[in-house]
Amino acid sequence: MATRITDDCINCGACEPECPNGAITQGDRIYVIDPDLCTECVGFDDHEACQAVCPVECCLPDPERVESEDVLIERAVRLHPDDAQLKALVAAGTFPSRFRR
């Protein structure tokens, strides 16, 4: 499931540089996450980086975009076609994922 940023966002910007996919941008009132770019950090971390740094805990799972680990890792590989380390981790089945904690 993609992550979303709720209206509780205080526009601090802590989340934006943490996203490995560039999915987080500043919107009109709050930061927003492009669900087509969000991989929930699967392939990069065993937790969602935006959630870890958000001081008001407004980066939450989007219940309307439930996605499997397979879908998320496929998206990560598609978004980072030149990332040899990611490809090697995927091939070995050892990529980081919150699903594997």
Fold for 3-100, please state it. Answer: Alpha-Beta Plaits (3.30.70)
* Contact yes or no for 83/100 (Cβ under 8 A): no
The pTM of this model reads 0.92
Is pLDDT at 1 greater than 70 in this prediction?
no
* Contact yes or no for 86/80 (Cβ under 8 A): yes
Q: Give mean pLDDT, residues 9-35.
A: 97
Task: List, for residues 70-100, the tens digit of each pLDDT value.
Answer: 999 999 999 999 999 999 999 999 999 999 8
Task: List, for residues 51-61, the tens digit of each pLDDT value.
Answer: 999 999 999 99
CA–CA distance, 38 with 1 (Å, rounded to integer): 9
Longest dimension (CA), the chain: 42
Give domain limits for the chain: 3-100
Exposed, middle or buried by CB within 10 Å (0-12, 13-18, 19+), for 32?
Answer: middle
CA–CA distance, 1 with 61 (Å, rounded to integer): 6
The pLDDT of residue 19 is 98
